[in-house]
A and B are shown apart, each in its own frame.
Chain A
Amino acid sequence: MKGGARAVIELRARLLWRRLTGRAGIGEGVARVTLLLVAVPVGLFFAVFLGLGTWQAVRAPGGLRTEVTAVAVYFGIWQTWTAVSLSLNEREGIDLRRFLVYPIPPWRVYALGLGSGLAADPVTLFWGVLLAGIFAGAAIARPGAWLLLLGALLVLFALATALYAALLEEFLALVLSSRRSREWAIVLSVAASVAILLYLAASATRPLQALAEALPALRIARWLAWPGACAAAAARHLYEREPARSLPWLGLLAAGAAGAGRLAFAIALGQARGAGAGAARAGGKGDARLPLPVGGRLGALVEKEWKYLLRHPLARIYAVLVPAVAALVGLGLEPRIPREARDVIRALPLFGLAAYAHVASQAFWLNSLGWERGGARLAYLAPVDGAEVLLAKNAVLYAYSLALFLASSLLVLVPGRPLPSWALPAALALHAGMAPYLYGAGNLVSILNPKAASFAVQRSATVPALSGLVGLGIVSTVGGLFSLPVLVALRLDSPWTLVGGWAALCAVGWIAYARVLSREGALLASRRDALLPAVCGDDA
């Protein structure tokens, strides 16, 4: 390996080591070790199922059973891998701009950044265990030389998926960095949603049949997920003892991986070289004032938070992603619930979306101060109360989350069967009720474990690993608390118990939130010596 590349690897390793052994790194180190400890048993658990499925598919005579298994396995892994890469992972990014001055080929820096980012990510181990499970299942079912091809297929599939995720990250960052393309993306996604709804509304009596009729056309869309599609096709031929017929698919997978990597690198390099060239404008006069019901310092904080949130690429992605998930639920899950099911069961998809709107936006309530960077100093320089700072953040995020939920519920309610009258108020009570618990706990996490967060989708982290882990606990606990009224309502067969239970939890939550907020504000004020170094890089 050449000296320059070796230096980049050493730099990455040293930076990671210093971060983990630094004062703020203990929590992150604990989180990484915990993730590793969780990834192995959970990975093994799923790997056993995948291995079993592959074992059956390899031993089956071929046909639908083999095809369904291969498609389910590879599309499933591809989908979750890509989703995790794009939203949840705390991947170590590499800023290409910083390395352009060195005499190292930029493609090598990019490749090293991608490779070392994957290697340092505990979740990679989880995917590795899953793929090993597939291989083990196939090897037990039918030992032989064909396993070499299967091994190559799994390696290529992993490579293609990682590069495809990198390409998506770079593409999203590119699209969202330009105001015009951003507006076009929003217009197109809204137009597509409206077209689907109109299509379904036109065949309102048989929406499912209409969807089934459209399926052949939709099958083409599977090639958007080409790593999964190519791998599934190659695997099917391998399972059916047709190794020669798998070769074109393997070649396609390799070519696709190379193409995706090359394109991702080209976009990243273009962005790195052109950074700062196209100055973004905020509005016509540069000061787009929001009409707000609150004035004074709190009003100014709310306005700043609102502008910050709406200018964040993640918030824009969720604005498209969450309703898209809702559309899938509305079209895919809701019609499968039997007609004779109880009302509470039928309303579960709607309730799920109320909770999902909070979960999707957790990056903003688990590290709410990380986005401020240098601006965080103003929380201590300006005569503002820490509680007001937190309240403004929570209020704006709640409005955003509520908008996500309302847009999503439309996509479930319009094409679906009518729900009972209590369902929407109950879902609203659930959404409003979860907020004070999540935000109250999230404020604590944000103050106690802050981290400078990047505005770019593809670089650095949005939430520290430890905060992510704690967030998982918070969501599980609050989810558990709010599932109790569901169990009671099902047992008593009384849906209004659900509305009452959630409304009561909601009231208790907001009262507790109001009492805790001032203490959290005081905690924020007292934590300046730890917070400013973590968020702004001040001396500590």
Chain B
Amino acid sequence: MLAIETRGLSRSFDGKPAVDGLDLRVPTGAFYGFLGPNGAGKSTTMRMLTGLLRPSRGEARVLGSDIERDASAVKTRIGVVPDGLALFERLSGAEMLRIHGQLYGLDRETAAGRAAELLDALELASEGGKLVQDFSHGMKKKLALGCALIHGPELLFLDEPFEGIDAVAVSGIRRMLQELVARRALTVFLTSHVLEVVERLVTHVGILHRGRLVAQGTLAEVRASGSLEETFIRMVGDERARAPGLSWLRGASP
């Protein structure tokens, strides 16, 4: 059973392909790491899979339903932490969580109860009264994760969940996600640049390069005998050109 399945999924911006003919297969219950260098098309893919962006071509089935045709049915069953987050900055943290829960169909009391529990679990309980705009970046990320979880989704999309968060918070979130996956067959689809964290977390990996999927499978299949970082660099190549000059950086005068 596949949680996510795409066929020829593509998206172009001004005629330039950002994602090109993507055939993703994410098994239910998997912890799927979607990797790729900057500009590879990871966030664009995630936005298409969550209904934020219309594909130019191809189709995507999420939890067995077409994301474009059965959008409402899919949305109630997934949780998303998108790139740039989806938070109302003029609500307090507690209000944001509760209202988010209500928007996903929870009644007010249930949403309020879960919001309080999530604030505790995410170590935000003392900050629940602050407006979201006054949260630090890391706190916003944690709050967005709480929002994505409040309605008990079957599939969680996380776009760079560890970016801008301190090591302690990363460890806490990682532990929480692992427990959730182990406890109730939650499928997690995440993008990240932090390969060491991903390697310790995921069961499956997909590597995207210039909008195309260059590898996909279980972690063991993809990394073969090396580490994930070595495999990743080998597949996407070290294309950074060496700077030819920069002599002024070594000198004292500007």
Contacts and interface: CB of A to CB of B under 8 A. Distances in A.
A528 B68 CA distance: 12
Taking each of B43, B44, B47, B75, which has the highest tally of chain A beta carbons within 10 Å of its own beta carbon? B47
Contact of B90 (A311, A377, A383): A311
A322 to B, nearest CB: 22
Contact of B87 (A300, A374, A539): A374
Contacts of B115: 287
Interface bin, chain B? 35 or more
Contact of B104 (A284, A375, A383): A383
A301 interface: yes
Given A287-B115, A297-B105, A374-B89, A380 B128 contact: no
Given A287-B115, A378-B100, A383 B129 contact: no
Interface bin, chain A? 35 or more
Contacts of B99: 300, 303-304
A312 B89 CA distance: 12
B78 to A, nearest CB: 8
A283 interface: yes
Interface string A274-299: 00100111111111110000011101
B92 A287 contact: yes
Interface stretch (B49-57, B168-176, B235-243): B49-57
B103 interface: yes
Nearest to B14: A540
Contacts of A528: 51-54
Contact of B92 (A286, A299, A376, A532): A286
Contacts of A301: 103
B82 interface: yes
Interface string B17-59: 0100000000000000000000000011001001111100000
Given A282-B95, A539-B44, A377 B88 contact: no
Contact of B86 (A303, A378, A384, A537): A378
A99 interface: no
A211 B190 CA distance: 70
A283 B92 contact: yes
A286 B135 CA distance: 13
Contact of B108 (A279, A289, A372): A289
A299 B99 CA distance: 9
A222 interface: no
A282 B102 contact: no
Nearest to B75: A383
Given A282-B92, A287-B92, A375-B89, 8 more contacts: A280-B130, A284-B129, A304-B95, A311-B131, A377-B85, A381-B75, A529-B54, A539-B13
17 contacts: A279-B130, A280-B134, A281-B131, A287-B94, A287-B128, A287-B129, A300-B102, A300-B108, A311-B131, A372-B88, A374-B86, A378-B86, A378-B103, A381-B52, A382-B75, A528-B53, A539-B13
